Structure 1
Amino acid sequence: MTVAWPAPLQPGDRLLAIAPSGCLRELDALQAALELWWQAGFSIDLAPHWRDQQGYLAGSDHDRLADLKEGWLDPRYRGLVCIRGGWGAARLLEACDDWPTPPQPKWLVGFSDITTLLWTLTRQQRGAIHAPVLTTLAAEPARSRQRLWDCLQGKPLEPLTGSVWVPGSAQGPLYPANLTVATHLLGTPWLPDLRGAILAIEDVSEQPYRLDRLLTQWRLSGQLQQLAGIAVGRFSQCDPPSDRPSFTVEAVLRDRLSDLGIPVLADLPFGHDGENAVLPVGAIAQIAGDQLQIHWPA
């Protein structure tokens, strides 16, 4: 797969903040993130429907899609930054006849529920960035924020170091994802071609039996068996209740991932509730020993 990447951002470039998923609940965190982007030299406009609410969604599907289209098609904007995750981005795919394709590659930044949009862009041969949303950015350590600015400006990215669960080496396009969100793309036209890829997974608030269910579906689909390697990030708030029998999170992940005949590198610093190191979606990555190396700039 050949991915078209946007030109590196320059100081003064303008981006649009959109809310394609859940409604805003963290206004102070959003304001802190906007200040950080400004300090880094970039301007961010808030999309027209950024504070809408319709149930748990950030407004209607029509309005959230309209904001996405504005960011893609308005030449003033060099990219889009997602405000938060939650749920709702996949609903926008139902409007496939009206799905916008940027005339020129533009940056898209987000994670968690935004996995849907990140992966959809790669099907259009466009790269995207798995990185903190606006409502989580201020809680990131300084090195994580600097990694985001470096990535968007086309500077090299340091390798990430983890724990070797299954030794070996692998190289292929990198597909970071929230496991739950990515699982719900299985069997849909929006799933990228993952043959020979490195799948990087994280999740939050999923008990071990649910993770077992998700990964078993991946195994039954045959998708895991086609990968070149697997990178495991943080699975936060996933411990089982203390009053019922259960496997641990690590035991489930090892059981479902370690017999595929491909390298597995775990304990990498990305995901919810902690450092969320930037991972460019579609970039060529390599598992080598205890490191995930990314060939960036692409």
Structure 2
Amino acid sequence: MSHIYVFSPSGAVRDRAAFRRGVRRLEALGHQVEVDPAALDRYQRFAGDDPTRVAAVARAAASGADVALMSRGGYGLTRILPDLPWKAMAKAVERGLRFVGHSDFTALQLGLLARTGASSWAGPGLTDDFGSESEPDEIMAACFDDLLLEQGEGTGWRLSAERGAGAAVADPGLDRLRTRAVHGATLWGGNLSMLVSLLGTPWWPEVRGGVLFLEDVNEHPFRIERMLTQLLHAGVLGRQKALLLGSFTQYRLTPADRGFSMKTVVQRLRSLVDIPVLTGLPFGHVPTKVLLPVGAKVDLALDGRDALLVWGHV
């Protein structure tokens, strides 16, 4: 089967039982799982100090594996971006290595795209996804298998009906997408907080005419709106062909919000941008997540509320 290299470039692994479960499950599927020697290190809240995690990324790039899989996210990659071996990572991608992860891993993925043009895959992590106490989500596992077998061609989903049944039909941006699909656009994005933290840095990919996908966790809708507004004012959203919104989870509304919610964030965003804003993308800090090729050319089409994102040529 496949050679999977597990490494920890961000936060320390706090749930070692989940880590071991994830390794066992991948091995039970017939994969060769190689664990980085520093994968379980801990320094403060990180999986080792900064040089240790830089070295872990370098070992992943040199591993000869089919997939370099993050153990978990958390925080830490932005600290080490100046020291990562970008050229070696890009050469590893050319040889067939696929970097896979999400959350804090967004910093590595967008930095790789910005510095080298190399692609990676937004997808699961070891502990939260393969190491969960319940069985791994079937859709996530199937998408991961498609990646390993090099047979994935795209994904489809149904737009969320956050504005009421049939309301999305009246949206001009979505109506245009129904009549004219997007072709050959660069897919990019990931965790919204991480993406915004890279704006104005050398690790920001200047993607024009792309399809931007976003998700986040533990961020109240007003913080989500604030970050989206920053992207709007910076001209980022206006340079895209479409915006895909995944899951925004684990926040708590209060009486002080007085009706302010993710629904109103999306409504306001659609009133301010002249591009399609699609909701319901199955991606984020949730069990059911598809794998998305960051940096690849994709086609995007919409039939009613059914969206189709295709990268069959990857």
- Are 2:276 and 1:263 aligned? yes
SS of aligned partner of 2:272: coil
Which amino acid is 1:64 matched to? R
Deviations, residues 121-174 of structure 1 (Å, cap 9, x unaligned): 223122211001001223441122111110232103452213156411323111
Q: Does the aligned pair in 1 maintain the 2:154–2:308 contact within 8 Å?
A: no
Q: Does the aligned pair in 2 maintain the 1:113–1:178 contact within 8 Å?
A: yes
Distance 2:271 2:214 in 1: 14
Distance 2:269 2:15 in 1: 35
- Are 2:51 and 1:62 aligned? yes
- Are 2:295 and 1:295 aligned? no
- Are 2:191 and 1:178 aligned? yes
Which amino acid is 1:141 matched to? D
Distance 1:173 1:152 in 2: 22
For residue 104 of structure 1, what is the aligned residue in structure 2?
Answer: 92
Change beyond 3 A, Cα 1:206–1:246: farther
| Equivalences for residues 1-298 of structure 1 within 5 A | 11=1, 13-75=2-64, 77-95=65-83, 99=86, 101-102=88-89, 103-105=91-93, 106-123=97-114, 124-138=116-130, 139=132, 140-163=136-159, 166-167=173-174, 168=177, 169-171=181-183, 172-242=185-255, 244-245=257-258, 247-289=260-302, 290-298=306-314
Q: Does the aligned pair in 1 maintain the 2:189–2:195 contact within 8 Å?
A: no
Residues 28-37 or 239-248, more deviating: 239-248
Unmatched runs of 5 consecutive residues or more in structure 1: 1-10
Unmatched runs of 5 consecutive residues or more in structure 2: 160-167
Q: Does the aligned pair in 2 maintain the 1:178–1:201 contact within 8 Å?
A: yes
Q: TM-score, normalised by structure 1?
A: 0.89
Deviations, residues 188-229 of structure 1 (Å, cap 9, x unaligned): 111112201100110001011111211111111111100010
> Would you tell me which structure has more helix in proportion to its own residues?
2
Deviations, residues 71-121 of structure 1 (Å, cap 9, x unaligned): 11244x33311000001111111326x545233322101001100111122
For residue 162 of structure 2, what is the aligned residue in structure 1?
Answer: none
Q: Does the aligned pair in 1 maintain the 2:218–2:250 contact within 8 Å?
A: yes
Q: Does the aligned pair in 2 maintain the 1:147–1:157 contact within 8 Å?
A: no
Change beyond 3 A, Cα 1:294–1:136: farther
Change beyond 3 A, Cα 1:162–1:259: farther
Q: Does the aligned pair in 2 maintain the 1:208–1:246 contact within 8 Å?
A: no
Q: Does the aligned pair in 2 maintain the 1:156–1:297 contact within 8 Å?
A: no
Number of matched pairs: 285
Q: Does the aligned pair in 2 maintain the 1:50–1:58 contact within 8 Å?
A: yes
SS of aligned partner of 2:194: helix
Q: Does the aligned pair in 2 maintain the 1:175–1:199 contact within 8 Å?
A: yes
Q: TM-score, normalised by structure 2?
A: 0.85
Which amino acid is 2:110 matched to? W
Which amino acid is 1:45 matched to? E
Residues 62-71 or 241-250, more deviating: 241-250
SS of aligned partner of 1:94: helix
Distance 2:308 2:14 in 1: 34
Distance 1:252 1:64 in 2: 37
TM-aligned CA deviation for residue 63 of structure 1:
0.2
Q: Does the aligned pair in 1 maintain the 2:4–2:34 contact within 8 Å?
A: yes
SS of aligned partner of 2:254: coil
Q: Does the aligned pair in 1 maintain the 2:154–2:312 contact within 8 Å?
A: no
Runs of at least 4 residues of structure 1 off by over 3 A? 242-246
